Amino acid sequence: MFGNWLKTSLLMAAIVALFGAVGMLIGGGAGMVVALLLGGAVNLWAYWFSDAMVLRMYNAREVDETSAPGFYQMIQELARVAGLPMPRVFLIDEAQPNAFATGRDPEHAAVAATTGILQGLSERELRGVMAHELAHVKHRDTLISTLSATIAGAISSLAQFGLFFGGGHHGERSVPPAVALLLLIIAPIAAMLIQFAISRSREFGADRGGAELSGDPRALAAALEKIDRYAKGVPLQTAELHPETAQMMIINPLSGGGVAHLFSTHPATEERIARLLAMAG
């Protein structure tokens, strides 16, 4: 767990350093501050309201002990073991098996699962999946992803600012338009790659946390193998229309193939399974 947090911290430091370098080169100190404020304002709004927005996007319906007693009680028990407040619980009427957690902190968390995952997994496997999602809540991964998105968005804004104005300046040194164009192309891509690396790092952490919480690494490994297999053949239309939400899911829900590892929001499922089986001894 410490190694995973260290990796995430280093990745966060890298994206901050990239932001600082691009800001000073293109916009100087003032341009860097303006872009950070704009990016921060957008992402602060997203941090407070993105959970409701995403749940509405997926037409998620809230359930309780009456409407989904078994599933609700499973979450209730896992939350108690994890020492977390009881999150809101949602179901999504989709055939693809998948699940995600959202909310700005453990006190305002929500977990959602598709009806397909309830039908396709055994009780042990489903318990492992929902433990994984509660591990995301416990680790405050939403906060980490929001911070990385804030800085990545500011980097993109700075690059566009530099191109629009033909290159910024820092003191007496001008930035040629050709350099600004190069930064417009390279800097946002670099920031995106770091974002994706942070997302992959947090998935490994949630796998470990979920396995420890459920006490059943093999069940989570089996669940990941099943979900990955089904997700490749059963589309999740909302995710296809809003691919930015893909990183929230326990398994990448998008149907596109041949994506390079660096451009993936999730680690290779085989590697995740191997790590879980190693935990199981």
Positions marked active-site: 133
- Concatenated DSSP letters for 140-198? THHHHHHHHHHHHHHHHHHHHHHHHTT--EETTEE--HHHHHHHHHHHHHHHHHHHHHH
CB-based contacts of 87, cutoff 8 Å, min separation 6: 75, 79, 101, 103, 106, 109, 110, 111, 134, 137
Going by their DSSP bridges, the two strands 173-174 and 169-170 should be labelled as: antiparallel
d(CA 167, CA 176): 6
Calculate ∠ Cα 106-198-187, nearest 5°: 130
Half-sphere exposure of 152 (CA within 13 A, CB side): 20
User: How far is residue 139's CA from residue 54's CA, in Å, rounded to a whole number?
Assistant: 20
CB burial class (10 A; 0-12, 13-18, 19+) of residue 216? buried
